[in-house]
């Protein structure tokens, strides 16, 4: 999976969300730790170890 492309699409508002499973988390984290716009994206954890990433909305 191309997580850098998914993060860029989410940041650019081309997609609303994407999910990361426990099987792909390490691959995702390798991209996430260097992603410059982390503060614009929020992860929402589910009980089964799935994290849904969405754009951070202002409250």
Query: pTM of the prediction?
Result: 0.89
Query: Average pLDDT in the 38-51 region?
Result: 94
Q: What is the pLDDT of residue 21?
A: 96
Residue with tokens 């609303």: 16
Q: Could you tell me the pLDDT band of residue 23, with boundaries at 50, 70 and 90? A: very high
Task: Print the domain residue range for 42.
Answer: 3-55
User: Has residue 59 got a pLDDT over 60?
Assistant: no
Three-state DSSP class for residue 1: coil
Q: What is the pLDDT of residue 50?
A: 96
Tally of domains within the chain: 1
Q: What is the DSSP string of 14-48?
A: S-SEEEE-TTTHHHHHHHHTT-TTGGGEEEEE-TT
Euclidean distance between CA atoms 21 and 59, whole angstroms: 27
Token pair belonging to 46: 């589910």
């Amino acid at each position: 999976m191309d997580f850098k492309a998914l993060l860029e699409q989410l940041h650019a508002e081309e997609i609303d969300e994407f999910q990361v499973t426990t099987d792909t988390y390490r691959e995702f984290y390798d991209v996430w730790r260097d992603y410059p716009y982390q503060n614009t994206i929020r992860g929402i954890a589910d009980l089964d170890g799935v994290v849904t990433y969405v754009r951070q909305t202002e409250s």
